């Protein structure tokens, strides 16, 4: 059975304020809108590629963004792979924990191929 995968890169949702730092409210709104369209467009898997991001999120920012993503009703029907640079894996795992603790299927990866393999697996990890 085919698997539909949507790839979202950071340039699709990260927004900065005039001072050059992340505009968390705008970025969160765009990301949650993108995630909410998973089932509306027939996709059941999303790969969010943050490897080229040049922003640093605080722990409270990661928590807030994680809660926003996890509370999207459509995320319950799909899987989200978060692709991060290897030097940011530990910080991203906190985000993963926040999302997964709310019942969503999201995992952090540092390797593209491993992320794709997980997305196409039919058993939720």
Band (77; pLDDT cuts 50, 70, 90): low
Confidence (pLDDT) at 118? 92
**24: in domain:** yes
Number of domains in the chain: 1
Say yes or no to pLDDT of 91 above 50. yes
The boundaries of the domain holding residue 80 are 5-120
Global pTM exceeds 0.75: no
Burial class of residue 84, CB neighbours in 10 A (0-12, 13-18, 19+) = buried
- Per-residue pLDDT tens over the stretch 49-74: 878 766 677 788 888 878 887 877 66
CB-CB neighbours of 75 under 10 Å:
23
**97: in domain:** yes
Confidence (pLDDT) at 40? 60
Q: Are 84 and 50 in contact (CB under 8 A)?
A: yes
Q: Torsions phi, psi of 117, nearest 5?
A: -60, -45
Q: Are 14 and 55 in contact (CB under 8 A)?
A: yes
Confidence (pLDDT) at 7? 74
Q: What is the DSSP letter of 123?
A: S
Give the residue-averaged pLDDT of 91-99. Answer: 90
Domain CATH number, residue 49: 3.30.750
């Amino acid at each position: 059975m085919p698997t539909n995968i949507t790839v979202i890169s950071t340039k699709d949702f990260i927004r900065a304020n005039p001072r050059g730092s992340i505009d968390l409210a705008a970025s969160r709104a765009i990301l949650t809108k993108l995630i909410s369209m998973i089932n509306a467009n027939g996709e059941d898997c999303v790969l969010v590629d943050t490897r080229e991001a040049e922003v640093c999120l605080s722990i409270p920012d990661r928590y807030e963004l994680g809660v926003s993503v996890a509370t999207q009703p459509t995320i319950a029907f799909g899987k989200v792979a978060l692709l991060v640079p290897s030097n940011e894996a530990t910080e991203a795992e906190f985000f993963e924990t926040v999302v997964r603790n709310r019942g969503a299927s999201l995992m952090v990866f540092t390797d593209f191929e491993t992320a794709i393999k997980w997305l196409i697996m039919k058993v939720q990890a």
